[in-house]
Structure 1
Amino acid sequence: MSHQWSMQGEYLESCNCKGACPCIYLGNPTEGECTALVGWHITKGQFEDVDLSDRNVAVALHSPGPMAEGNWKVVLYIDQRADEPQQEALSSIFGGQAGGHPALLASFIGEVLAVEYLPIQFEMEQGRRHLKLGQSAETEINALEGQNGTEVTIRNHPFAVAPGETLVVAKSQSLLYRSYGIDFDLSERTAYYSPFAYSGS
């Protein structure tokens, strides 16, 4: 059954790759495998008659090789502030059942380790993003400084969480996750952020 839905907002990803992450160019992760936190802050969203605005979603993932080859293990985190209809809508969208670009991303998943509902903080400041998932995970990233103090950006990369958007290239000050056998405690690694817009019908 199809559903009418749309959402827009801001996303970030923070992973274990060193330098520029080759995964977004369909290449091999610099460390052979990829572990990452990906978070979305929905500034405006609607699933049928359910308002999804000002809610957050996140995924912790492990990819055993190039991300485009799939077989990811993931944990899906839904904002604890979401009521039951919002939880169901967000689970359907980010689980891939509602179509749109999230369904494409979900097609790379080999195993969903868990779905959890917990407090998710997604903070946005000029050149800085911060994502915290209860006591389970956290990442803080800062944009790299480019020519004349401008942002370093990437556009038209083939493997995109937010297709059509320009990525701001960042570096993690911290990247921590320890749960469900996915463990990392890193810093000074690759990160990106950008707006996103998804829809389905």
Structure 2
Amino acid sequence: LTPVALGEFEGNLWAGEAKAVMGMYLDEQANERQREALQMIFGGQAGGWPAGFAANVGEMRGMEFVPITFEMAGDLSTWRVDIPGLVVGHAEALSGPTTPPGKRVQTINPPGSEVGPGQVATWGRSVEVSTKGFGLDWTGTARSSKHIPFDWTGPN
């Protein structure tokens, strides 16, 4: 299942200098049990890393279940998310003169990783962005983007 979070903050969220304003779109393919679990996880009630992240959210503007399409190139060169009428996000991985051919700009254990420690972030920039919802509406290009895979598990 795919979650999409819209958020904004000013200052260093991780140093306690800011609190985020967020809204979340969650995959409509979730069944009732999964919907309840997703709301508990992203609301912080399930504990673990998500609860620590949720403590940095000063205002949660809502969670909605919607159709979400996520695509990622097998070589991590591009990723894209679409929510009809609400979100379009298309990003390309960064590269540079010292990046070996076919490799991506990545960080292991990135500082401030939204999905927790021990992850690999692939850094990119947006080539298309349009978001609408929860009063967090943006359009444009060349915004920062990163792809961070995660697998949160917990008790049954």
Q: TM-score, normalised by structure 2?
A: 0.85
Q: SS state of the match for residue 200, structure 1? A: coil
Q: Which has the higher strand share?
A: 1
Question: After the TM superposition, which parts of structure 1 deviate over 3 Å for at least 4 consecutive aligned residues?
Answer: none
* 1:99 paired to 2:47: yes
Match of 1:132 among 82, 88, 97: 82
Residue in 1 that maps onto 2:113: 160
SS of corresponding position for 2:114? coil
Moved more, 123-132 or 67-76: 67-76
Aligned residues: 147
> How do residues 1-201 of structure 1 correspond to structure 2 at under 5 angstroms?
55-68=1-14, 69-125=17-73, 126=75, 127-146=77-96, 147-149=99-101, 150-162=103-115, 163-201=117-155
Report the residue type matching 1:145 in the other structure.
S
**Would you say the 8 A contact 1:100–1:199 is kept in 2?**
no
Task: Provide Cα deviations, 1:104-153, integer angstroms capped at 9, x if missing partner.
Answer: 11111111111111111111113111111231112111111242322111
Normalised to the residue count of structure 1, the TM-score between the two structures is 0.67
Q: CA RMSD in A?
A: 1.6
CA distance in 2, matches of 1:194, 1:180: 23
Q: Which amino acid aligns with 1:133?
A: I
| Amino acid in the other structure paired with 2:35 | Q
Structure possessing the higher relative contact order (Cα contacts under 8 Å, 6 or more residues apart): 1
- Percent identical pairs in the alignment equals 30
Q: 2:154, 2:71 → 1: CA distance?
A: 27
Aligned partner letter, 1:65: G
Once residues 136 and 54 of structure 2 are traced to their aligned partners in structure 1, the CA distance between those partners, rounded to angstroms, is 18
Matched residue SS, 2:153: strand
The Cα offsets for residues 147-196 of structure 1, whole Å up to 9 and x where unpaired, read as: 23221112233311232112111111112112232121121121111321
